[in-house]
Amino acid sequence: MAILVIVIFLFAGYSILIIYYWFGWLSAPELSPSPNPAATHVSIVVPARNEQENIGNLLTALRGQTYPANLFQTIVVNDQSTDRTAEIVKQFQQVTLIDLAEEDINSYKKKAIEQGIRTAAGPLIITTDADCVPQPKWLETIVSFYEGKKSSFIAAPVILRSNSSIIELFQALDFLVLQGITAASVHKRVHSMCNGANLAYEKAAFEEVNGFQDIDKIASGDDMLLMHKISQRFPGKVHYIKSREAIVFTQPTKTWREFFNQRIRWASKARFYKDRTVLLALLLVYLFNFSFLALLILGFWSPVLWIFLLVLWVAKTIVEFPFVYSVAKFFNQQSLLKYFFFFQPLHIGYTIIAGWLGQFGRYEWKGRKVR
């Protein structure tokens, strides 16, 4: 049957891609401590909207950093919050609070980051999200890496905290895989991937590429689209920092509705990528996952295809497992692996739905309807 030939072809391509990511992850070196103390002045920019439950934890963690307090500033840009976010920020005297003006725009987060960078005094910008919590040596580690590599842009690791609920365990495992792909792709310089919850880049590089100009109308993409602009202008100066000290912890979404809105938002920037390698990788992944749906539907006319569907489910798990295991071991999240096989249908389903709606639908984020 033609469908089986197509599926086998897609599986072969997908397997090669995953094995490539696996070897890319393994070849990325872990950061060794620098003997010299870092001394670069840093500006931390935090866009925040309705984060009263989280912002205090982040600012407390920043206050506890091992990096000298006189060498970094924290800038929180209040994105029209309707809760106590601004009030909580004002309790931290060393933090600069900026209120984002009301405008009819599509990407409020990019606008917030831009305003924060205008106020930034340091040559190195580090961005994180208001619901994140970094470790005590976070700044020290990133700045040391920056000074050693002379990077223009640094992608850094992020992991999700999770409880025992299905939605949070699923997100934690899915996010883990994305982190492994990020590290592998950046280290191998095959395409631009990162997460805005933990980024560092030179202010001069941001200004050199005119910041978010030309991508400012896109709701998402304050991370990967900017990364691509900087990597084009400064080839060889975009790096991934593989260090446990550089990890920031972030919060999962609490409901499936929020989860799908988040993933649709992430997928929405795909059609704006100018990096053809990431487009080809995303297309291959999408078509391979879509093949599961095709086999499921066609199985109503030819039930033998359901047997092939189960075989493909097992084969996908076997191909992915070594890669996922090596990433989970680094992040000390091996306990998630017992769910890996059973979460495959969820992963396949959301990839199909979010990938489609991200290109053609609208979504809600932080109480706003965006496109």
Q: Which tens digit of pLDDT belongs to each residue from 77-90?
A: 998 889 999 999 99
Residue 360 has pLDDT above 80, yes or no: no
Angle at which helix 166-188 crosses helix 256-268, to 10 degrees, equals 20
Give the confidence band of 271 by pLDDT, cuts at 50, 70, 90.
low
* Three-class SS state of 5: helix
Q: Is the pLDDT of residue 219 over 80?
A: no
Q: What is the pLDDT of residue 161?
A: 87
Check whether 40 has a pLDDT greater than 90. Answer: yes
Query: Do 245 and 138 form a contact (C-beta atoms < 8 A)?
Result: yes
Residue 247 lies in a domain: yes
Q: What is the pLDDT of residue 207?
A: 95
Which of 159, 181, 243 is CA-nearest to residue 25? 181
Please state, in angstroms and rounded to a whole number, the distance separating the CA atoms of residues 281 and 300.
30
For residue 310, pLDDT over 70 is answered with: yes
In a domain, 37, yes or no: yes
- pLDDT, greater one: 224 or 370: 224
pLDDT > 70: percent of the chain = 92
The range of the structural domain enclosing residue 136 comes to 30-164+191-253
Of 31-40, 92-101, 170-179, the range with the lowest mean pLDDT is 31-40
pLDDT at residue 104 greater than cutoff 60? no
Q: What is the mean pLDDT of residues 7-16?
A: 96
Residue 148's domain is classified under what CATH number? 3.90.550.10
Let me know if residue 290 belongs to a domain: no
pLDDT in tens, 141-184: 999 999 999 999 999 999 998 888 999 999 999 999 999 999 99
Question: How many domains does the structure of the chain reveal?
Answer: 1
Highest mean pLDDT among 163-177, 261-275, 356-370: 163-177
User: Is there a domain that residue 284 lies in?
Assistant: no
Say yes or no to pLDDT of 69 above 80: yes
